[in-house]
Structure 1
Amino acid sequence: MNANKEPVARASEPSVLLRAKFGPGMLLEHDDLEQLNLYTRDLSRLLFRSFFGSGVVCGLLVKPDVKCGKVIVTVDCGLALDCQGDPIYLPRAKTLTIEEQCSKDIPKELWVVLCRTEKCCSPRTAMCASDEGDVTSACTRERDWFEIRIVRARPECACGSEEPDKDPLQAVAGDKCWCVNPEHPCYKNHYAGICGCTEENCQSCGCDCVVLARLKQTSDNPEHPEWKADHRVRRYTRPMLMRDPQVFIEAEEEARKKRAAGAATTTAMGGESGSYTTATEDPATQGSNPGRRSKPNAPKSEA
């Protein structure tokens, strides 16, 4: 056996993904068939939250309006991902009316949140009853639902961006790319290649809601109020091609080592005779050969 093919070190343990396997003549149980759904769902959750994180993928624009003294909020169709990696899909625009029991004392700041829910349907009774004789039923379908909520305060458990006043532009100045600022707190770990939900950092993975916008009343006229939607509070996630951050980190480390080695060489050469000096400036200022040594100036003749 070729020794070069043997690993220098090895460590292994089971992962969390589990696939179901069947064989001819095997007696299947409910858990065996249910594992088919669990594997595909766990896999899609893992990929979605690792690739994109959580937030709005497309659409879901919030448009407030006032008609007949009532605030009407329309949310366009679109797609979002919650913190677990589950999709929240609005197939069509949805309109809500803020009634507040016909009161005009509506808060001047409201939050629009999109949440994911589930509903079991198509119940079916079991063929075999239990020993007590009770016939139980179970749902055979599970449909994804969405729920749009308009709340008075920002929810503590909801995927969104930081307050916009900390980074109003959320972009790199002078850059034509539509990428967000890699140093922004909401996107820093994503650009650094850090997983958003790991065993050590999984406090945000129980959130099923996504912040869409913040509604602000811009007019104090009670008869003709005006509202504006602020979308800067939502986290916008969209697939993009990017450079490997680890390659950049390794290149910076190599450059740092070379600079340190060059500084040490310069210090060592400084202790020798002054016949020659080593050029350590930018190669662009040293011509085609940055490592050449320059001769000392000839001594001036006495007058």
Structure 2
Amino acid sequence: MAKVAFIGLGTMGYPMAGHLVKAGHEVCVYNRTLSKAEAWVAEYGHRLAETPSGAAEGAEFVMTCVGNDNDLAEVTLGEQGVLKTLAKDSILIDHTTASAAIARELDAACKAQGAGFLDAPVSGGQTGAENGVLGVMVGGDQNTFARGEPVMLAYGKAIKHLGEAGNGQLTKMVNQICIAGLVQGLAEATHFLKQSGLDGEAVFDVIQHGAAGSWQMTNRHQTMLNDKFDFGFAVDWMRKDLSLVLDEARRNGARLPVTALVDQFYADVQTMGGGRWDTSSLLKRLEPGND
């Protein structure tokens, strides 16, 4: 079992760090809001640190799961960041959904001090984190991945090495492109069946088992039919992710007309006050009076 530091106890990080404890690892946590770290220690035991560098001291593996590139830079490269104490031969594993550029920057910084780095964004949402069945998309050195994979198995069900540093983040962008289009299609389908007077439960009961089926349909159709959106992966977070996607597309020349359009639809939902609603709330903007 390993000595692990976990930086960032948000919706995803809190249960992920808990799974590390359940797997038998020795865990020290850090969170910017101290009360969240105190609550985690009260639930799982082990210990907390007052700074990222304090949490990373003596750790064999350091996991980060924070909000965005700026947050990630602060907890890794900042005055009290983990690279201040990251030991030689230890591994920094970043689970933040961030840019490929900062992944490559962190890879170079870790290598400069004899440590390893993996960019490893996750998919599966809060439910996946709580159940320990996340998909983990990993970029970095093959040998570093081989060392890190057994630890990530505490909360990952499908863990895939995808090549060099930055490729994990690029794969997460592919994931978000797919989701954006799927959710918009599901929203339009739900709106259409409501306008048609169809029995939504009956419709989805049959079509989810055919070619139209998807994770989004299976897990979101009922809440969409019931007009419930106060849960799940927030619109604000999705817009952050799509901003990363569209920035990368401008760099690599990819044409993403549907993704760009859905991003603007999510901006409409934010204007409606739905920034913290689940991404399936795209349905709300199709309702009469919201066009």
| Structure with the bigger percentage of strand | 1
TM-score w.r.t. the length of structure 2 is 0.20
Larger Cα-atom Rg: 1
| Structure with the bigger percentage of helix | 2
Q: Point out which structure has higher relative CO (alpha carbons under 8 A, 6+ apart).
A: 1
TM-score w.r.t. the length of structure 1 is 0.19
